Amino acid sequence: MSTERMENRPKMNHYDLGVIGSGLGGLICAAIFALEGKKVCVLEKNKQIGGMLQSYSRNRVIFDSGVHYVGGLDKGQNLYRIFDYLGIMDKLKIQRLDDDVFDEISFCDDPVRYKFAQGYENFIRTLSEQFPSEEPAIRKYCDDIRQICRKFPLYNLHSGDYIETLSALEQDTKAYIESITSDRKLQRVLAGNNFLYAGEGNKTPLYVHALISNHYIESSYRFINGSSQVARELSKQITSRQGRILKHCKVIRLVEHEEKISFAELEDGRKFYAPLFISNVHPKNTLDMIEGKTLKAAYKKRIKGLENTISFFAVNVVLKKNSFPYLNYNINYWNNKVPWIDLSQAETLSRIGYVMYFSKSQKNDYYSDGVTILSYMDFREVEKWKNTHNTVGEESDRGDDYHVFKETKARDLFELVEKRFPGFSSLIQSYYCMTPLTGRDYSGNDDGTLYGFAKDFRDPLKTFISPRTKISNLLLTGQGINLHGVLGVSISALNTCSIVFGMPYLISKIKDA
C-alpha cells in the first residue's frame, strides 16, 4: 500500500494490531502485543468482553457463562506460568477444589460415587480404594496420560521437535481405556468427566482426553465471584499500555487490498486500520467477513466443511438462602450407562447426563447461592429460531414457543438432578436457561459449539488449523485453533503470537517471569 494511502487514513483508527473479538484468545494476543510495546485495538461486538469468560449476576448471584473451573494453576504449572507472564496471576481470586475429589463421577444404575483426586499419586490412591484389584490399570492410565502430554512441547512451555507429537494423534480414547482394563465400571469412570471435551466413542482422540485431564489432575481451581475477572485483568494490562478495547463494535467486513487486509469495517461504517489483524472469531465466521480473492475456494470449503463439537443446554439456578450446602467439587452424573455422546440421538442428548458446578462466593463458605447445570444439546433442536438473535446490540424476542421449549428442557434436567439430590427442585428460588443460541450469540461461533471443531483420531490433522492464513497479515486464534479450554486457548494464543515474535522468545519471556 502506498505512503499516500497510509497518510490519508484517520490517525485515530490506526493501530499496530487489530484484534477481532475479545474472547480469551483475543485478549491474550492483545496483551502480549501490548507488553511488547505495540499499539493495540480490540473490537468486541457485545457490551461485555471475554466471550465465554463472561459472568453475569441474577438475584445477586454470580454465574459463569462457560468457564466454571480451571486446571494447571499451582505455582510452576503451565497455566500459572502463562498467567504470571501476562501479569494477572496474583490478581485472580480463586479457590482450590478439594484435594481428594475435584470431580465426582456417578451413574444412574450405580449407587457408588467415584472420586477424581488432585495429584497423580492421590488420584491413583483414591480410585484404587474403589477399585482395589485395578491399581495396575489405574497406574498405567496415569503414566500413559503423562507420557502423551510430554509429546506436546508447547503444552509444557518449551520449544521442541513436533515429530514425536504425530505419534500421539492417532489413538482413540474409548479403545485405549478398554485396552487397559476389562472392568466395565472402571472403563466408564475413567471417561466420566468427558463433559470437558464432549467425548464421542470411537472418535475422540486420546491426546484430547490426555491434555485436558492432565492439567485438572495436576490442580483444579474455581473462580471466586466469576471467571470474568480473567478478562477484566487482561483488559487492564492492555489499556494500561495505551491499548484500546472497544465494545458494541461489530466487525462485518475485512477488506483486502493487494493480498492483505487493509481495514476492518464495523456495522456502523467506521473503519480500523492496522498492518496486522488477529481474528478471535470462529474460523467459519471469520471467512464470512473477508472480502477478497486471496483465500482459495478449496481452503474455504475445507474450513466450512469441518464439523463442530456438540453444543450445550445450561440452567443457572438461584437457590433459596441457606438451603443447599456448598460442595467444593463438581458433579458429573450420567443417566446413560456409558458416558459417550451418540450424535444420532439429537433430541435425547440433554437427558444423557449433566455436570453441576457450584458458584463460589466470598460471602458464604458453607452454603451455595447458586449452581449451574450443564448438559448437551444439538443445535438442530433450536434451528427453528436460528434467525433470531438476543444480544444487547441485536435483541429480539424468540417467542412463546421458545420459552416453552426452554421450560420443558429445564424441568427434564431438574428430574435428573433429583436422582442425585432428592428434593432439589423445592430448593430453587429462580433459574435462567442458556441454549445453543446463547452460545452462538455471545461467543461468535455459528452454532453454539462447546469446544470448536470436533477432533477425530482417524484423521487427526484435518482439524488442526494453522493460525497463519494465505492473507499474510491475518492470523487466527481461539478455541477453533487446535485446543479448547482456558489452557488450550492460552496455548493457541501463544502459538499465534509466536508467528510475529518467535516461540523461543515468548518461552524465554514466560520463564523469566
- Predicted pLDDT of residue 288: 94
- In the chain, the amino acid numbered 160 is G
8 Å CB contact between 270 and 250: no
> CA 7, CA 169: separation in Å to the nearest integer?
49
Cell of 280: 478471535
Looking at residue 1, its pLDDT comes to 34
Task: Please give the Cα distance from 80 to 76 (Å, whole number).
Answer: 6
CA torsion 81-84-90-96 (nearest 10°) is -20
- pLDDT beneath 50, residues of the chain: 1-10, 392
Residue 342 pLDDT: 84
pLDDT the model gives residue 227: 95
Backbone angles phi, psi at 120, to 5 degrees: -60, -45
β-bridge pairing 290-291 and 251-257:
parallel
- CATH 3.50.50.60 occupies which residues in the chain? 3-56+227-306+454-512
Q: What are the grid coordinates assigned to 496, written together?
A: 499465534
**Residue 396: what pLDDT?**
64
In DSSP notation, 231-284 reads: HHHHHHHHHTTT-EEESS--EEEEEEETTEEEEEEETTS-EEE-S-EEE-S-HH
Q: Is CATH 3.40.50.10170 correct for 3-56+227-306+454-512?
A: no
pLDDT score of 168: 78
